[in-house]
Structure 1
Amino acid sequence: MGEKKVKGRKSLNRKIVLFCIFCWVVPIIIIFVSMTTSYKDNIEKKLVNIFIEKLRSTDVFLSNHLDEAIESIRKPSYEYYLEKAWNKYVLEGSSGRNDCYTTISSNLRNKFYWDKRFNVCSFYIEGEVEPFTYLSSSNISMKSYMEEIHGRVQEIRDMDSSYTQIIVDNGRVFIVRNVYTTNNYEKFGTLVLELNIKNIFEDISLDEGQSLAFCVNNPNAFVSNENFLEDESKKNIADEILTQYSVNDRNKIIIKNNNDYYGYFLEAKHDDYHLGILLTVDKIVVDAEMNYLYGMIFILLLITLPVLIIIIFFLRNQITAPIDKLVEAAKDIESGKLGVTVSGGDMPNKEFKYLQHSFNKMSRQVQYLFNYAYDEKLARKDAKILALQAQINPHFLNNTLEIMNWQARMAGDETISNMIEALGTVLDYHMDREDKRLIRLSEELRCVDAYFYIISMRFGKRLVVEKEIDEELLQSMVPQLILQPILENAVVHGIETVSTGVITLKIYHDDIKIYIEIINTGKPMSEEDKDRINKILSNDPDAIKPVPGKHASLGIRNVNERIKLIYGKKYGLTIEPIEEGKTRSLICIPYHEELDEEMDDMISKITILGK
């Protein structure tokens, strides 16, 4: 369960990278959202206010211009030179026409021709169709004037009113006023002035991407500093605005926009006219500020990205890389490679240097403890095996000496010599001067042959020995002295109980185990015998206590325990009846040497301690 939880968690390296990215991206996103929402709205509001203020200042400027022009066209009525020249012309008839023309032209030239605010000045004598006097400072021909403006002027001439009228036609602005006599209020002429639009717009400051147009009284006639209505997008904005236009509004702001432009329109009611001013602003220019802001954010991202990479690299080098080394070393120890140390040069800081030193020290201590515990267990096992082997010798030696003593009493012949030689072989094998735990099977069988010779001297024809041995196994390593105690048990509990007995020794193997099988004839085993043997083999203390008149069977217990100590609990000795009058003793040992489970447990505990 714990291992699954560990696997399901993200690594520290990934968490650090995600944390750094989070700390980098979130502030940038917050800044970006703030600038593209509230900051952008604030900028847009400020720009709208700026443009509206520009419209109001333009309204003041244009109205001053128009008011001055209106005032200029009223002055001749109060200066009497037009009226005097006309009276003289009326009294003298045609003879006074030239004087009238000279007087009027001279005065109008002085007042308007040289004034840069005006392009054209014309004066009509009542009753005449064409202008009596025509002055143009901008090379506008009389013919053009007559074709474009004369008709509109005639409409005002036909009116019986001295109010100043403003005509806007084809981008030109004309101020028209009928002139009356001061005595009897008789209309005697009409004065027309054309404003110099270029001069007006030159005095108005416009920023890049801005265009200005205005209309007077008539919303369908705009005057601009450029071919304003030739731009379809600007014309569309003007058309949308004019749907809300009203000459009755004294002060009204209309704001429209499309894909290309922002449009701001101001309606202002003045004493003599209604003025509408349209300011269009190119969106590219307006959005340049925001684009500049976005560019700054992008540059900020480009600048902070390397910083983020440096921070991640620094944390990787200072924290996660040393931790990875420690984790890899811990995994090696977990897999059984005791004594593994963290190498790879110096740690990046003193904290991990201390952890490296402590980890390496702990790993070496774990290896030492494991080796110490392993060697100690082997020593204890060897000591126990030697002690068990030592228990066998006195019993066998006593029996052998008894037989030799009996044989000597019967007759002194060559047989005694052979028996003594066989006994010497067995005694030498039991003494085990080289103190070996495992020997080759061929050496064990040599001792078995000597034992069979000695036993055959005792039983003679009463004992028949049969052998079936796989010669391939003669070089296999087996525990020392595991056959003779089993054979002795077969003799004592089998052969001695019948008149004629057979002992069969079979040694064979499969892919996993070596089997040593000893079958002897004798009396059938009772249930009591089976229970006692099982208790002996399970090392029951009560079963191995000496019983008067019965063999203690310490040999089979020792053989079984030695095999389990050396190879593990799944190997050992079993004794069971196989058919009427036959008993089988079966030893199982591994075909290839294995560690026992107890040793595996110890290794696991040492490994856990190392973690």
Structure 2
Amino acid sequence: MEEKKRVRKKSLNRNIVLFCIFCWLVPITIIYLSMTTSYKDNIQGKLRNMFVEKLRSTDVFISNYLDEAIDAARKPSYEYYLERAWEQYKADGNEGRNDCYMNISSNLRNKFFWDKRFDICAFYLEGEDNPFTYLSSNNYPMGSYMEEVHDAINELRKVDSSYAEVIVVDGRIFIVRNVYTISSYEKFGTLVLELNRKNMFSDITLDEGQFLGLCINDADGLVLKPGFTEEKKRFNLAQEVLEEYSSIYRDKLIIKQDNDYYAYLLEEKHDDYHLGLLLMVDKAVIDAELNHLYSMIYILILIMGPILIFIIYFLKKQITAPISKLVEASREMESGKLGVAIDGEDMPNQQFQYLQNSFNRMSKQVQYLFDYAYDEKLARKDAKILALQAQINPHFLNNTLEIMNWQARMSGDVTLSKMIESLGTVLDYHMDREDKRLIRLSEELRCADAYLYIISMRFGKRLVVEKEIDEDLLQAMVPQLILQPILENAVVHGIETVSTGVIEIKIYHDDKKIYVQVVNTGKPMTEEDKERVKKILSGDPDAIKPVPGKHASLGIRNVNERIKLIYGKRYGLTIEPIAEDKTRSLITIPYTEEDDEAREEIISNIAKLNK
């Protein structure tokens, strides 16, 4: 069966070829797929987040700029110079018009003309159609102002409100605010300020292929950052996005794209206006790096093809060919040809040359390994079993006990005679004159009964023994002297510690194991006791060192080790509390026929060594 399985497996040469192809194709495929799918999506997602964050930071900057300009437009109402000039003009009539003009012009010039945030400052007196004062820092003609801006300003002048309005006219941003008296709240004029667009966008930097614009309150007027050239495709997508602009949303993001551009529109509601920021990004700039990466992948694939062929040839010569020689020699040795040597030309590298020389040397020693080392290992194992068992075999003279028994009977002391007979049974059992490793369970129980009789004479009514034994197991073969040390441990650590104690002996089995259980009453096990028992059963040498006032517990350790040596590590002895005042000692040994066969094999091996 094993031969068939070996034949079905693929050869090393084929596996190396497949592995090289796999190591070539998989990374290339993964890189290509990740670049074209997840990596590309990840990059685009990060870029989108970066563009959105750029829009949000731009919104903060632009809104702060607009808020400061609106605050500047509100201040003249609270500084009274406009109101005082108007009241003086109202009191003096037309004769004071010139003085009113000089006062208002002078104050507005000081306030706004020299401020780089503003290009135009105009002031309308209530009831007059044309600007009373007009100041322009960029030399924008008043005639052009009247033709292009004046009508839009007049519409706002009709509104009875001091609320500052931000409007866009032909791509230019104006702040319009009706001015009222402080005392009587009477409208006496309208202040108009045009923001300097270049100054407003000066601190906003854009990368190559990016274009920025904004709209205020509606999409009709789009203010472009200088450099936003009127490219048809770009404006078509911009208009498509602006069609969805609405001033009702407090925070909204709109993203669109076509074959050439991405468009991001961020809508934000502010106290005095609704701001829409439009960012256009050229796809060609974004995709340039990805396209370059795709080209590098294609070049890498072309380069890796010849390299793959060379790697396969190299591995075949350096690895598979030498291994084939080693496998062939191993098969010959497996067929029974001991001392097989690998001849022929030298190996292609130092490592396989060493393996060839080592194989040739080791093949000559195989007979020794089979004929000597294996038997020597069994001998060491049996010697350990004998040494362990010898530690609990007492060396008393049984003949002396027979003389003592005869003297007791001559004196008529039946009780003493029975005790001597029981002790003789225990000692004779311990002497193991036939040097048996496995005995019938009935013989083990006979020794245990003799020991319990002696102990019962000592404790009297303090000790109660209960038995429950499966009679089908009386002929079962068990290791010698495994029950009495457990009973002795139960007496020393349990019965001696209480006024009245119970020892329960229960022997039973299931489909695979025989269980020898001893339950004794006594003081509860402490955590220290549990740890000490664990160390004793694990073979810790420090755990069995003599301690004043404590039993060494050598017997339970030897019982556990002998069972594991004979049957294997899955069998043995466990000791644990099962109730507050009860401790259970449980021995497990094999019961099934398969385990019996293994046990007989062990007995047979020991018998060979004894010969």
**Bigger Cα Rg:** 1
